[in-house]
Structure 1
Amino acid sequence: MRNSIEFVVYGPYALFTDPLTKIGGEKLSYQVPTYQALKGIAESIYWKPSITMFVDEVRIMNPIRMESKGVRPIEYGGGNTLANYTYLRDVRYQVRVYFEFNKHRPDLKDDWNEFKHHNIMKRSLKAGGRRDIFLGTRECQGYVEPCVFGEGEGFYDNYGDIHLGTMVHGINYPDETGRNQLEVRLWQPVMRNGVIKFIRPEECTQVRVLSSMEPKHFDKNAMTSVDELYAQNDEGGYS
């Protein structure tokens, strides 16, 4: 696929929170990562406001196991609450993502250089990402490495179809939709032999408006262009 990278992301714990469980202060992880969580991981590898990352598919490599822990959430107003968080344990996923130029940011059109973005992205992946990798939440540290999607043995390779019910697909932000509102997308994924193929955000039919929001403003004078980043790579500043 054009402008794509393939990587494996793994870690001892993950928490892809089901929002229905947050009402009482508890947190229960979905069984699999959401589109938005994987997009966030891809953006931690490499991201600029002139491009939009899309998640194509994810392959669940390890068996789905959960572990509950008693956690004391930070309460800035005082208190000593004990909450129960249920994490995924020993996770490993193969992911394929790709990028397109953000058509809703024509003000950043000068930064549309497909070749240079793709090459910096691949170099950033080899270096383990440009930012810290988190598996759903900050306390769940993750790690990324390049891989070939589909290689190796996965636990669910011959498992058939698993219907996962209604899940959050992701969040719509104004600078990605052209609408001045924050929205959440829902969908009903099916895992087939360990692989979930994601639909694109605009293909989600269940969209809920959360609030009004204006797109972020980026000062081009304060933003490093892809040409400058690419030159830094060639000079050995970032490999």
Structure 2
Amino acid sequence: MRNSIEFELTANYALFTDPLTKIGGEKMSYSVPTYNSIKGIIESVYWKPTILHIIDEIRIMNPIQMESKGIRPIEYGGGNTLANYTYLKNVRYQVKSHFVFNPHRPDLAFDRNEHKHHNILKRSLKAGGRRDIFLGTRECQGYVEPCEFGAGKGFYDDVDEMHLGTMLHGLNYPDETGSDQLEARLWNPVMRNGVIRFIRPDECTNIRQIRKMGVKHFDETNVEAVDLLWSQIEEGR
């Protein structure tokens, strides 16, 4: 597919928090990454409001293992409390994605240069990303590198089908939907032979409204300044 990239994502720990477990101050990870968590990782590699990253597939390479840790998070009123966080450990994924131009940002139509964005994305991926990579939460540092999707042996290659229940797919932001609402998307993923094929955000039918939210606007001067800055960083100036 045009505008596509394939990469491997690895980390010692990951925490893709199930929102239902946060009510009492605890955190427990989903067994696999959510769509938005992978999208956030790709945006750490390269992000511009001109484009939308679409996650096509993820391949689960290592066995799903969890580990609980006693944590002392800071309370809102000050001081510390005690909580158990349940992490995924020793994770390794292969991801395939592509990008499209954001139809809800006509103010950035001047920046719709497919060749430019794809080349910058590939260079940024090869360098390990423009920003830190983390899997779900800041303490779960990760690493990305280009790969061939489907290469190598995966732990679940011979498992025909695994239903993963209802999961958070991601969040709908106003600049990606054209509405003035922040919304949550839910879906029911199924892993087949170690691969989860994501549906697109606009194909999700189970949507919950969260709150009103506006859109941040950019102009040509802002975008050109950012492009120049990153080109100088990549050239080592």
Letter of the 2:31 counterpart: Q
Contact preservation (8 Å) 1:186, 1:206: yes
- In structure 2, the residue matched to 1:150 is 150
Runs (5+) with no aligned partner, structure 2: none
- Kindly indicate whether residue 105 of structure 2 is the aligned counterpart of residue 105 of structure 1: yes
Which amino acid in the other structure matches residue 3 of structure 1?
N
Shift of residue 120, structure 1, vs aligned partner: 0.7
Q: TM-score, normalised by structure 2?
A: 0.95
Offset, 1:214: 0.5
Please name the residue that 2:89 is paired with. Answer: 89
Q: Secondary structure at the match of 1:115?
A: helix
Is 1:196 matched up with 2:219?
Answer: no
CA RMSD of aligned residues (A): 1.7
Greater mean alpha carbon deviation, residues 211-220 or residues 31-40: 211-220
Q: Which amino acid is the alignment partner of residue 170 of structure 1?
A: G
1:214 aligned residue: 214
Task: Note if contact 1:64-1:88 (Cα within 8 Å) is conserved in structure 2.
Answer: yes
User: Residue deviations 1:119-154, cap 9 Å, x none?
Assistant: 110000000001100101100000000000000000
Shift of 1:226: 8.4
Task: Compute the TM-score of the two structures, normalised by the length of structure 1.
Answer: 0.95
1:114 alignment counterpart: 114
- Residue 152 of structure 2 aligns with an amino acid whose one-letter code is G
Q: Secondary structure of the residue that 1:48 maps to in structure 2?
A: coil
Distance change >3 Å, CA 229–CA 98, structure 1 → 2: farther
C-alpha separation in 1, matches of 2:203 and 2:76: 40
Shift of 1:159: 1.0
The aligned residue for residue 237 of structure 1 is: 235
Deviation at 1:2, TM superposition (A): 1.2
Unmatched 5+ residue regions in structure 1? Answer: none
Q: CA separation in 2, counterparts of 1:169 and 1:70?
A: 28
- Counterpart in the other structure of 1:62: 62
Q: Secondary structure at the match of 2:224?
A: coil
Report the CA distance shift for 1:81/1:228 in structure 2 as closer, same or farther (over 3 A): closer
Contact 1:101 1:112 in 2 (8 A): yes
Q: How many residues align?
A: 236
Structure-2 change in CA distance of 1:84 and 1:112 (3 Å): same
